[in-house]
Amino acid sequence: FSLGDARRPLHETAVLVEDIVHTQLINLLQQAAEVSQLRGARVISAEDLLFLMRKDKKKLRRLLKYMFFRDYKSKIVKGIEDDDLLEDKLNSNNTNKRQKLAQDFLNSIDQTGELLAIFEDDEIDDVKQERMERAERQTRTMDSVQYAEFCESRQLSFSKKASKFRDWLDCSSMEIKPNAVAMEILAYLAYETVAQLVDLALLVKQDMVPKAGDPFSHAISAT
């Protein structure tokens, strides 16, 4: 609902989305475990997932921003003042543990400088922008009760119930298990997968609407 679907999505749709997300994450975990074994590690860590995502610059940039905001949120919770937050960001010290971890790892595998350039890239994320505009359009006709429900939906994530999420992925049966930061990333990627499925479904729905004056609309609908 928070990503653009109806307030009460079809149960069949939810089951299908869950199945797709689960399959994608299990495959990702298996690949990450292989990467972890190759480097002789005992756990699946953030580095293994970053390595798998290194070729998709847009999604990697989105993940790095998420990791930065996780650090930022952790510091807010600990009650650090705003001036210190800005200073920490500039110094990239130990309090920015997720960001520093990502930066150090990408630096170790970056041969051309294009991966590290992502940290300095302020380019607008077209996909995120479209999602924000869609959410704004959704709320225009809502009353206060519907808006409260919508806001609550937007706050949901796979990381809210970490133990259930870990059980859902059956991590206990794996020889090499993901650590805490890797689980954060997996929860984020699960959410992103749902978001991408909704993005694509809405595009398909949009293409199915016949356009006035389109000579091919009849043939497309028949197909």
Inside any domain, residue 4: no
Inside any domain, residue 212: no
Segment among 79-83, 170-174, 199-203 with least mean pLDDT: 79-83
- What's the whole-model pTM score? 0.80
For residue 192, give every residue at least 6 positions away whose Cβ sits within 8 Å of its Cβ, in sequence order, or none.
59, 62
100-140: per-residue pLDDT in tens?
A: 888 888 888 887 777 777 777 777 888 889 999 999 999 99
Q: Please name the residue that has the structure tokens 């630096």.
A: 107
The residue range of the domain holding 166 is 11-81+90-207
Inside any domain, residue 98: yes
Inside any domain, residue 216: no
- Of 164, 173, 55, residue with least CA distance to 110: 55
Q: How many domains does the chain have?
A: 1
- Of 202, 54, 163, 175, residue with least CA distance to 118: 54
pLDDT of residue 80: 56
Cβ atoms 150, 2 nearer than 8 A:
yes
Average pLDDT rounded to a whole number, residues 92-101: 72
The answer to whether residue 18 scores a pLDDT higher than 90 is yes
The answer to whether residue 3 scores a pLDDT higher than 50 is yes
Average pLDDT rounded to a whole number, residues 191-209: 91
- Distance (Å, rounded) from C-alpha 185 to C-alpha 35? 16
**216 confidence band (pLDDT: 50, 70, 90):** low
The answer to whether residue 90 scores a pLDDT higher than 60 is no
Segments of 13-100 assigned E as strands = 43-44
Average pLDDT rounded to a whole number, residues 163-176: 92
Q: Of all residues in the chain, what percent carry a pLDDT higher than 90?
A: 46
111: helix, coil or strand? coil
Inside any domain, residue 221: no
Inside any domain, residue 109: yes
Backbone angles phi, psi at 178, to 5 degrees: -75, 140
44: helix, coil or strand? strand
Segment among 42-46, 123-127, 161-165 with least mean pLDDT: 123-127
Average pLDDT rounded to a whole number, residues 153-168: 90
Residues forming a β-bridge with 43: 177
pLDDT of residue 219: 58
What does each C-alpha distance from 37 to 41, 78, 177, 182 come to in angstroms?
A: 6, 35, 11, 15
Inside any domain, residue 220: no
The answer to whether residue 195 scores a pLDDT higher than 80 is yes
Inside any domain, residue 215: no
- 172-181 residues labelled b (16+ CB within 10 A) or e (exposed): eeeebbbeeb
The answer to whether residue 21 scores a pLDDT higher than 90 is yes
- Distance (Å, rounded) from C-alpha 176 to C-alpha 107? 25
> What residue type is assigned to position 165 of the chain?
F
Q: Please name the residue that has the structure tokens 């119930």.
A: 161
